[in-house]
Amino acid sequence: MNTVKHYFYLTSAVLSGSCLVIMTLLILAQIGARMLGVIIPSSEDFAGWLLSATIFFGLAYTFNSGGHIRVTILLSRLSGKTRFIVELFNLLVGLAICSYLAYYTAYTAYESYIYEDVTDTYLAVPLWIIQSPMALGSLFLALAMSDGLITALSGKVPGFAAQEDNALSVE
């Protein structure tokens, strides 16, 4: 099971990094093309969409590795059962929010597909293609939150908490 989780989080990171590399190459191509007097149509739009995909695909990996901003100063002052209850509450609220986000971003992408919506840019791109990374990244984050919740309920330390504890012990 740990292998599946490892590859899940690795996939999230690779998708995020791939979008970042593609965005960088696109911007470099646009710079080079402008030096030659050529314009790549909608390159700014694609760069923005790739930035969004980079952010949303990276959410699950960042959460698992303890990279999201949390109130660790408060949590480090709590101990035992109190900290466990606060962590569970945080995970439950976070999971509810992420699940809501995942559902509605997927629903929005589905509606765009059904109604055949396209972007209003120079190149008409089906809108569901642009919205899908956000929906998938939100789903990944919801799954990461549920993984953290299940891990905490089983009495083990979730990945994000282990990373935070390591960071606090170094300071």
Q: Decide if pLDDT at 63 tops 80.
A: yes
CA 152, CA 149: separation in Å to the nearest integer? 5
pLDDT for the residue 169:
58
pLDDT for the residue 117:
95
Q: Decide if pLDDT at 10 tops 60.
A: yes
Mean residue pLDDT across the chain:
91
pLDDT for the residue 130:
96
Cα dist from 63 to 72, 81, 159, 161, 162, whole Å: 14, 23, 8, 10, 12
Q: What is the pLDDT of residues 12-30, one digit of tens each?
A: 999 999 999 999 999 999 9
98 contact partners, CB below 8 Å, separation of at least 6: 138, 141, 142, 145
Q: Decide if pLDDT at 154 tops 80.
A: yes
Residue type, 22: I
171 contact partners, CB below 8 Å, separation of at least 6: none
Q: What is the pLDDT of residues 68-116, one digit of tens each?
A: 777 677 777 888 889 889 889 999 999 999 999 999 999 999 999 999 9
Residue type, 110: Y
**Are residues 140 and 60 in contact, defined by beta-carbon separation less than 8 angstroms?**
yes
Residue 165's pLDDT band, with cuts at 50, 70 and 90, is low
